[in-house]
Amino acid sequence: TTFGEVSMRTQPDLRKQARQLENELDLKLVSFSKLCTSYSSSRDGRRGDSSSDTTPLLSNSTQDRMFETMSVEIEQLLAKLTGVNDKMAEYTSTPGVTSLNAALMHTLQRHRDILQDYTHEFHKTKSNFMAIREREDLLGSVRKDIETYKSGSGVNNRRTELFLKEHEHLRNSDRLIDDTISIAMATKENMTSQRGLLKSIQSRVNTLANRFPAINNLIQRINLRKRRDSLILGGVIGICTILLLLYAFH
């Protein structure tokens, strides 16, 4: 049994393991993103409830622990997927394996791209979460200082109330902007994913066209006929437009 035959038997196992890790990472990243998105709103809701002083602290601590735990789990999955990709790279770089099946290189590159996307998404979501937590801690500290000053001095004048209302308005506006940015980023990522899928389909079509000249000739004829139909349709529309203008001015 040669090394190439062994690698061909182990390569499907590595691909299966890589897909399993990618599925786990996808689910973890979705849950991680939901945790980060709900963090700000949940803290706002608890901060607005002044009936209990202990519940917000426990809830915040729980969310912070969930964040740390999920971060460690995702980092471990990313490390495992990196190791699997490295093993696949060792097989594909072995003399004889690459020439035996060039599709292995394409499969490896695809798994590497997925790993890079997941790593980028994880670091971006983690950074957003840290920024939200720091901002919320800062706003909470400011609010606490205001309430301490208000209760300590015994002053309950109109100016303090207006300042608190303006502070709430600014905080709500900031949260609305963050939600809008999140929606825009999600839309951009979805469009990027769709563009990659269309490029992949176009690449396959071009590969088939280059491999089978008859298909390539058929595609060229279809394109020529589409151009001809477009010219004819444009000419008809132009003539109709001119006739309508002549009719309108007479």
Cβ atoms 242, 235 nearer than 8 A: no
DSSP reduced 3-state for 162 = helix
CA distances from 77 to 4, 120, 160 (A): 29, 14, 50
Within 10 angstroms of residue 43's Cβ, the number of other Cβ atoms is: 20
- Amino acid of residue 206: N
What's the whole-number mean pLDDT along residues 179-191?
Answer: 81
What's the whole-number mean pLDDT along residues 78-93?
Answer: 85
- Rounded-to-integer distance, Cα 218 and Cα 209, Å: 9
| Model confidence at 156: pLDDT above 80 | no
Out of 39-48, 133-142, 153-162, 166-175, least confident range: 39-48
Percent of the chain with pLDDT over 70: 72
pLDDT band with cut points at 50, 70 and 90 for residue 65: confident
Query: In the prediction, which pLDDT does 230 show?
Result: 87
pLDDT band with cut points at 50, 70 and 90 for residue 184: confident
CA triple 64-26-43, angle to 5 deg:
25
Nearest to 186 by CA among 30, 5, 24: 30
